[in-house]
Chain A
Amino acid sequence: MNGDIRELYQQMIMDHNKNPKNFHPMPDASRVAEGYNPLCGDHFKVYVKMNGDVIRDISFDGAGCAISKSSASMMTAALKGKTRAEAKALFEEVHKMLSREIGSAFDEEKVGKLATLGGVCEFPSRVKCASLAWHTMLEGIEPTGKQVTTE
């Protein structure tokens, strides 16, 4: 099997795809944001329960490819208990990691387990999959009233 493919679809990503974390609707969410990439059909809702400035709980549901789903799953695991500012900072780091030049380094310490998604930058057409949940989350914590898309 191709090495890039092996890295992209490594075990942790496939595990999150098969058994996603926080994969359920949240009836008492403070906010629900919807992300949809019509060309590929990735379609998720991200639910957040805010306690002042803190993300007390976060979940998602919907359907999409392995990359979009595992990214959403890992995101919810990483953001629970984080403040709005921390969530935005992590969004920035993940965004940098996903859209960096192929072959260049990124700050693995800042992204933690999300470094698993570092190989996505080798697949430019898939960056939009990995980033969909993140943009949707931003809309959840700072709403503009728009449906999110990364296409």
Chain B
Amino acid sequence: MGPEGKWDVEKLREDFPILREQVYNKPLTYLDNAATTQKPQVVIDALTRYYSKENANIHRGIFCLSEQATKRFKSARHKVQEFIGAASDKEIIFVRGTTEAINLVTQCYGRPFLQAGDEVLITHMEHHSNIVPWQMLVEEKGIKLKVAPINDRGELILEEFKKLLTDQVKFVSVVHVSNALGTINPVREIIRLAHAKGIPVMVDGAQAVAHTKVDVRDLDCDFYAFSGHKLFGPTGVGVLYGKKELLEKMPPYQGGGDMIRSVTFEKTTYNDLPYKFEAGTPHIAGVIVLGAAIDYVQSVGLDRIEAYEQELLKYGTEKLLEIPGLRLIGTAEHKSAILSFVLGEAHAHDIGTILDRQGIAIRAGHHCAMPVMQRFKVPATTRASLAFYNNREEIDRLAAALREVTEVFR
């Protein structure tokens, strides 16, 4: 089905073999898409095809298979470039995932270019992956980490953010979509404000790229990070986008094969972008299959995905709020299809267990965003995170199972 056809979620579900699986003799209801997404058959086939027919190392073999693998690898990089609207494929660095992408920036930009006393501004809704790598620099370099507060709906308080954006701030790093709350941050406005003061901005796009169209040049972000496995692709592969002029002045991340032009024991010359940041044999299969996942997402159409998910979010929000004692955590006006909530006296893990026996997969816990839990004074939340292949029936199943929880915890 192309982006022009009629939206048919049942037809799209057929693309995902795992959605036909049963758990405890119940149909699998997969609502943990913020943790990882399921894979369509075309992605699974691309992985099988690569290992059964195409596997070879890249950039070195003088034989047919290696040349073809190299070509496919390059083509995948080009797909990523077009997918996020980057100016050049030299600006696309393959990494293991969002976490590694952020660490690459803290280590190769933050470490060499930030000085003691410089400040880095983040928000209260960051994933641990966008907190801890900066804290490591706080300890090592004496930089300061500042946190822009959020309101009771889980929205960034832009006025406070502006106040915190002082002359000492030398880097801003913000999440595009909060994994714990679903909040969509006004990243374009954040970037505009920071750039007005000459401050570079990194955006953690892990929860965004599978749900909305991202254009890095339109946003004008300096760095953008995301993971393949949250984009219907494989685990172990992710992308760091960086503006060429910044990437060029940054030192390499790791030393080893592919990032090198020439080596003697006296001196090594580094390779050009993007290879400078890709030491060692990369996750070739992962990159190529990520390309297949991007082709698939684009064939479904991100505009249509976003519209459908918003509709499903509205339906899910209404259904959940009908349940006595349920309180949503994260009620931002601009929100992605994430339903994080607490339910009466029931602990998130008790809810998780009861839902699991109904075949419903959700996440229970702090979602690697402990400061968010502290902000809302809850030990944990239960989170249903939706993807375009979820349907109303699954929301109804979730609501029915939550009523069962209220029975147990009456």
Residues of A bordering B, CB below 8 Å:
1-2, 4-5, 8-9, 14, 17-18, 38-43, 63-67, 123, 125-126, 129
* A40 pairs with B407, CB closer than 8 A: no
- Counting chain A CB atoms within 10 Å of each CB, the highest count among B353, B354, B409 belongs to B353
* B380 pairs with A40, CB closer than 8 A: yes
A to B CB contacts below 8 Å, 9 in the list: A1-B408, A5-B354, A9-B350, A9-B408, A38-B366, A39-B365, A40-B349, A63-B379, A65-B350
**Known pairs A41-B348, A41-B365 / 13 extra A-B pairs, C-beta < 8 Å:** A2-B24, A2-B357, A5-B354, A8-B353, A9-B350, A40-B349, A40-B364, A41-B380, A64-B379, A65-B347, A66-B347, A67-B349, A125-B353
* A41 pairs with B350, CB closer than 8 A: no
Q: Binary interface profile of B, 330-366, with partner A (CB < 8 Å = 1, else 0)?
A: 0000000000000001111110011001100000111
CA distance A65 to B364 in the complex (A): 11
Q: Binary interface profile of B, 204-236, with partner A (CB < 8 Å = 1, else 0)?
A: 000000000000000000000000000000000
- Counting chain A CB atoms within 10 Å of each CB, the highest count among B347, B365, B380 belongs to B347
CA distance A63 to B365 in the complex (A): 14
Known: A14-B409, A41-B380. A65 touches B349 (CB 8 A): yes
Contacts of A17 in B (CB 8 A): 345
> Nearest-CB distance from B110 to chain A (Å)?
26
Known: A4-B357, A126-B349. A14 touches B380 (CB 8 A): no
> Nearest-CB distance from A20 to chain B (Å)?
12
> Nearest-CB distance from A102 to chain B (Å)?
13
Among B357, B365, B379, B407, contact of A43 (Cβ-Cβ < 8 Å): B379
Contacts of A8 in B (CB 8 A): 353
> Nearest-CB distance from A53 to chain B (Å)?
35
Contacts of B373 in A (CB 8 A): 41
> Nearest-CB distance from B336 to chain A (Å)?
24
Residues of B bordering A, CB below 8 Å:
24, 345-350, 353-354, 357-358, 364-366, 373, 379-380, 404, 407-409
* A123 pairs with B358, CB closer than 8 A: no
> Nearest-CB distance from A70 to chain B (Å)?
11
CA distance A66 to B407 in the complex (A): 14
CA distance A125 to B407 in the complex (A): 22
Contacts of B347 in A (CB 8 A): 40, 64-66
Which 4 A-B pairs give the minimum distances between C-beta atoms? A65-B347, A41-B379, A2-B357, A65-B349
Among A1, A42, A43, A129, contact of B404 (Cβ-Cβ < 8 Å): A1
Contacts of A126 in B (CB 8 A): 349, 353
Known: A1-B404, A1-B407. A123 touches B353 (CB 8 A): yes
Chain B, Cβ-Cβ closest to A128: B349
> Nearest-CB distance from A90 to chain B (Å)?
25
Contacts of A1 in B (CB 8 A): 404, 407-408
> Nearest-CB distance from A13 to chain B (Å)?
10
CA distance A8 to B404 in the complex (A): 14
CA distance A42 to B353 in the complex (A): 15
* A14 pairs with B358, CB closer than 8 A: no
Contacts of A43 in B (CB 8 A): 379
Contacts of A125 in B (CB 8 A): 353
> Nearest-CB distance from A122 to chain B (Å)?
10
- Counting chain B CB atoms within 10 Å of each CB, the highest count among A40, A42, A43, A63 belongs to A40
CA distance A2 to B353 in the complex (A): 11
Chain A, Cβ-Cβ closest to B404: A1
